[in-house]
Amino acid sequence: MTEDTTAPALMEAEEGWVSLFDGQTLDGWTPMIRYHPLGENFGNTWRVEDGKIVVSYDQYGEDFGGRFGHLYYDTPYTAYRLRMDYRFVGEQMPGGPDWGRLNAGVLFHTQPPETIPEDQDFPISLEAQFLGEGAHAPTTGNLCTPGTSALVKGDRPEEHCTLSEYPAPPAGEWVTFELEVTPPNEDGIQTYRHYTNGEMVFEYSDAQLDEAHPWADSRALTRGHFAIQSESHPVEYRNIELLVLQEE
């Protein structure tokens, strides 16, 4: 009988996962909400309730006002697997854009948060987009590219978002999402994979900035922070965990 070497490797990988959210505080995370300074949690947008990170707009007044938000994890990484659960709850905040309904996500390889002007809507980054059933598009685990691009099946799409084929689940249903960012190969190119409820739904590679920036060494996009989103629809996140694939 051939010795099975798979199980120990999987066990070691599982043991390498670490929690990024203690279930009680936002320690290790920094909010950035448009029109407000980095670190200001306007309207208590980001809060912890019952072991979840909750996005709420109950202190915003009568209008969302374009205050797109991002909760940054404080440490940047190169190669890793990131997983979390999310679900959409309640109703969209009045004044939010039509495309913001049942819309959230995780941005990664973002520009450093301290380089983002207060009036900038979204960080330059790659985005794994989360949508709920009834949103402006029918699928979840999509790719969006604010200020960036990537190779998808050999092409570099010009559209801001490229859709997966995984149907967006109903609002209120917990969804498990996992992002895989591979170590750069010998040519410095990474591959990125989106998994929804255990199924790989999107794969792409060779991410680049659309233009040069003073905070980046080159246009190749191979390292950065990640951040979860608040885009005008209440959303909850839990079980946020990381497995580092390449030590910094």
What is the tens place of the pLDDT at every residue in 188-222? Answer: 999 999 999 999 999 999 999 999 999 999 999 99
Contact 190, 37 (CB under 8 A): no
* In the predicted structure, residue 8 carries a pLDDT above the cut 70: no
Q: Which residues have CB under 8 Å from 47's CB, separation 6+?
A: 53, 54, 56
Tell me: the pLDDT tens digits for 75-133?
999 999 999 999 999 999 999 999 999 999 999 999 999 999 999 999 999 999 999 99
* In the predicted structure, residue 161 carries a pLDDT above the cut 60: yes
Q: What's the pLDDT score for residue 47?
A: 98
- The structure's pTM equals 0.92
Give me the chain's average pLDDT, please.
94
Q: What's the pLDDT score for residue 248?
A: 77
Tell me: the pLDDT tens digits for 19-52?
999 999 999 999 999 999 999 999 999 999 999 9
* In the predicted structure, residue 6 carries a pLDDT above the cut 80: no
Least Cα distance to 33 among 64, 12, 54, 79 occurs for 64
- Give 247 or 179, the one with higher predicted confidence: 179
Q: What's the pLDDT score for residue 14?
A: 62
The separation between CA 66 and the C-alpha centre of its own chain, rounded to angstroms, equals 19
Please state, in angstroms and rounded to a whole number, the distance separating the CA atoms of residues 3 and 166.
Answer: 36
Q: Which residues have CB under 8 Å from 223's CB, separation 6+?
A: 76, 77, 78, 109
Give residue 110's identity as a one-letter amino acid code: T
Q: What's the pLDDT score for residue 101?
A: 98
Mean pLDDT of 60-84: 97
Q: What's the pLDDT score for residue 15?
A: 76
Please state, in angstroms and rounded to a whole number, the distance separating the CA atoms of residues 132 and 140.
Answer: 7
Q: What are the structural domains of the chain?
A: 19-244 (2.60.120.560)
- Give 55 or 10, the one with higher predicted confidence: 55
* In the predicted structure, residue 229 carries a pLDDT above the cut 80: yes
